[in-house]
């Protein structure tokens, strides 16, 4: 069923590196693709995000001698999980999953391109203040409500959902079209935080 003209879908980071076989594979990450494709065209505004890191990015464990992936370090902007090298600009891993209907995108927003700061959220970098510009894009297109889908539920999807709620959008997360990394209880925490923020969690 088509949604109202003030509704957008935000498709978060459905890229090869987050799918099985990728550098930061999310279990069953590929399974979000048919779910997303099925609902995409119901939304009048369609935004896709693409995690897009330069080589040697500050979120990569390889940039921190003596540290390993999935450890946490303190950065000037707060704590940061260290990840395996992933979604390197121009690499196959940074490409969208080949079955995802990217041709339906109105806009593709790249994030995480600054070497020294990560950007989980589609709205703000991890300092929670540097904007990506997405808020302005959505507002000038008259968007009031956003539905989020993609990878990973507990990182980029949750951070985007929480920022959208903080900015005053009505927020819905389509859980069947998301999969999680689930690092040390991060999925439970993300679900709790989203519920507290008034985000609707749709099965
Ligand atoms: C993501 C970790 C690092 C995500 C991106 O898309 O959830 N997670 N970069
Ligand atoms: Zn990343």
| 125 Cβ inside 6 Å of ligand 1 | no
**Residue 105 tokens, joined:** 């995108």
Strand partners, 203: none
Q: Tens digits of per-residue pLDDT, 172-191? A: 999 999 999 999 999 999 99
Query: Residue 80's beta-bridge partner residues?
Result: 73
**Per-residue model confidence (pLDDT) at position 1:** 78
Of the bound ligands, which one is closest to the alpha carbon of residue 80?
Answer: 1
Question: Hey, whose CA ends up nearest to atom 1 of ligand 1?
Answer: 156
% of residues, the chain, pLDDT over 90: 99
Task: Give the CA radius of gyration of the chain.
Answer: 16
For 47-68, write each residue's pLDDT tens digit: 999 999 999 999 999 999 999 9
Average pLDDT, the chain: 98
* 4 burial via Cβ count (<10 Å: 0-12, 13-18, 19+): exposed
ipTM exceeding the 0.95 mark: yes
Look at residue 131 and give its three-state secondary structure. Answer: strand
Reading the block at residue 100, the tokens are: 């995802």
Per-residue confidence (pLDDT) for residue 136, from 0 to 100: 98
DSSP state of 39: H
Q: How far is the CA of 1 from the centre of ligand 2 (A)?
A: 33
What pLDDT does 87 receive?
A: 99
Q: What is the mean pLDDT of residues 131-136?
A: 98
Residue 8's contacts (CB-CB under 8 Å, 6 or more residues apart) are 43, 44, 45, 46, 47, 138, 141, 143, 145, 146, 147
Q: Quote the pTM value.
A: 0.98
| Catalytic residue flag (residue 111) | yes
Helix (H, G, I), strand (E, B) or coil at 138: helix
> Using CA atoms, how far apart are residues 167 and 145, in angstroms rounded to an integer?
11
Atom of ligand 1 minimally distant from the CA of 157: 7
Helix (H) or strand (E) holding 32: helix 32-40
List, for residues 90-111, the tens digit of each pLDDT value: 999 999 999 999 999 999 999 9
Band (pLDDT 50/70/90 cuts) for residue 130 is very high
* Residue 201 confidence (pLDDT): 98
Q: For the chain, report the end-to-end CA distance as a whole number of angstroms.
A: 17
Residue 39 pLDDT > 90: yes
Active site residue 174: no
Element (H, E) at 189: helix 186-196
Burial of 68 (0-12, 13-18, 19+ CB in 10 A): exposed
Per-residue DSSP letter, 3: P
Among candidate residues 156, 163, 174, 178, the one labeled active-site is 156
**Count of positions (residues) in the chain:** 203
């Amino acid at each position: 069923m088509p949604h109202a003209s003030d509704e957008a879908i935000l498709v978060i980071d459905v890229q090869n590196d987050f799918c099985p076989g990728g550098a930061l594979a999310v279990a069953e990450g590929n399974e979000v693709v048919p779910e997303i494709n099925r609902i995409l065209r119901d939304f009048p505004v369609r935004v896709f995000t693409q995690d897009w890191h330069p080589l040697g990015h500050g979120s990569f464990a390889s940039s921190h001698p003596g540290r390993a992936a999935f450890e946490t370090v303190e950065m000037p902007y707060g704590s940061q999980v260290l990840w395996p090298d992933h979604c390197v600009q121009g690499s196959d891993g940074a490409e969208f999953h080949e079955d995802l209907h990217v041709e339906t995108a109105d806009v593709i927003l790249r994030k995480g391109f600054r070497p020294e700061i990560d950007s989980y959220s589609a709205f703000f970098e991890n300092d929670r203040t540097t904007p990506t510009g997405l808020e302005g894009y959505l507002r000038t297109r008259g968007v009031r409500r956003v539905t989020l889908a993609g990878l990973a539920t507990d990182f980029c999807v949750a951070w985007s959902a929480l920022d959208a709620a903080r900015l005053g959008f009505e927020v819905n997360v389509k859980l069947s079209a998301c999969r999680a990394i689930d690092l040390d209880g991060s999925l439970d925490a993300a679900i709790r935080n989203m519920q507290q923020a008034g985000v609707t969690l749709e099965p």
